[in-house]
Structure 1
Amino acid sequence: MTTNTSAKPDELAAAAFALFSTRGIAGVNMDEIAAGAGVTKGSLYWHYASKKEVVLAACNLYYRVWRNQIEGAIAGHERLADQLEAAVAYSVRSCLLDDANRVFTTEIVAMSLYDAEVRASWTGFLDETERFFLGLTHRAVGAREFRCDDVDRAVDLMLAAMEGIKQIALFRPQICLPENEQRTCRRLMSLLGERLLVPAG
Structure 2
Amino acid sequence: MQLVQAAIRVFTTRGFAAATMQELAAVAGMTTGTVYNHFKTKDEVARAVAVLLADSLCRRIGESQQGITEGAHRMAIGNQRYIWLAEQSPQWALMTLDVAAAAPELLLEIRHYVLADLRLGVKQKAFRIPGEAAAMDLINGTIAQAMRSVALGLAPPNHGREVATCVLRGLGMEAAAAREVAHRPLPPFPPMGAAPASRKKPGAKAKRA
Work out whether 1:93 is the aligned partner of 2:84.
yes
| C-alpha distance in 2 between matches for 1:108 and 1:31 | 18
CA contact (8 A) 2:4 2:49 kept: yes
Larger relative contact order, structure 1 or 2 (CA cutoff 8 Å, min sep 6): 2
Is 1:143 paired with 2:121? no
Residue identity matched to 1:174: L
Deviates more, 1:42-51 or 1:83-92: 42-51
Larger Rg: 1
Distance 1:149 1:48 in 2: 41
Query: Could you state the TM-score of these two structures normalised by the residue count of structure 2?
Result: 0.65
Three-state SS of the structure 1 residue aligned to 2:65 is helix
Q: Which secondary structure does the structure 2 equivalent of 1:148 belong to?
A: coil
CA RMSD between the two structures: 3.1
Query: Number of paired residues?
Result: 174
Matching residue of 1:154: 135
For residues 44-90 of structure 1, what are the alpha-carbon distances to aligned partners after superposition, in whole Å with 9 as ceiling and x for unaligned? Answer: 34433343332322222222222322322322424333322222222
Q: CA deviation at 1:103?
A: 1.5
The C-alpha deviation readout for 1:162-181, integer Å capped at 9, x for no partner, is 233355568x6322x66432
Matched, 1:193 2:172: yes
Deviation at 1:13, TM superposition (A): 1.0
Tell me by how many angstroms 1:151 deviates.
Answer: 5.3
8 Å contact 1:138–1:151 — kept in the other structure?
A: no
1:14 partner letter: Q
| 2:162 equivalent in structure 1 | 183
Q: Is residue 11 from structure 1 mapped to residue 2 from structure 2 by the alignment?
A: yes
Structure-2 separation of matches of 1:127 and 1:48? 21
Could you say which residue in structure 1 is the equivalent of 2:115?
134
Letter of the structure 2 residue corresponding to residue 162 of structure 1? I
Tell me, yes or no, if the aligned pair for 2:94 and 2:148 is still in contact at 8 Å: no
Gaps in structure 2 of 5+ consecutive residues: 181-209
Deviates more, 1:43-52 or 1:20-29: 43-52
Gaps spanning 5+ residues in structure 1: where?
A: 1-9, 113-117
SS in 2 for 1:193: coil
Residue matched to 1:7: none
Match of 2:146 among 165, 171, 177: 165
Q: Counterpart amino acid of 1:17?
A: I
Find 1:79's aligned residue among 59, 70, 78: 70
CA, structure 1 residues 133+51, in 2 after alignment: closer, same or farther (shift >3 Å)? closer
Structure number having the greater helix percentage: 1
How many Å apart are 1:16 and its aligned residue? 0.9
SS in 2 for 1:174: coil
Q: How does 1:118-129 map to 2 (within 5 A)?
A: 118=102, 121-122=103-104, 124-129=105-110
Task: State the percentage of identical aligned residues.
Answer: 21
Whole-angstrom CA distance in 1 between matches of 2:142 and 2:71: 22
C-alpha distance in structure 1 between counterparts of 2:46 and 2:118, whole Å: 32
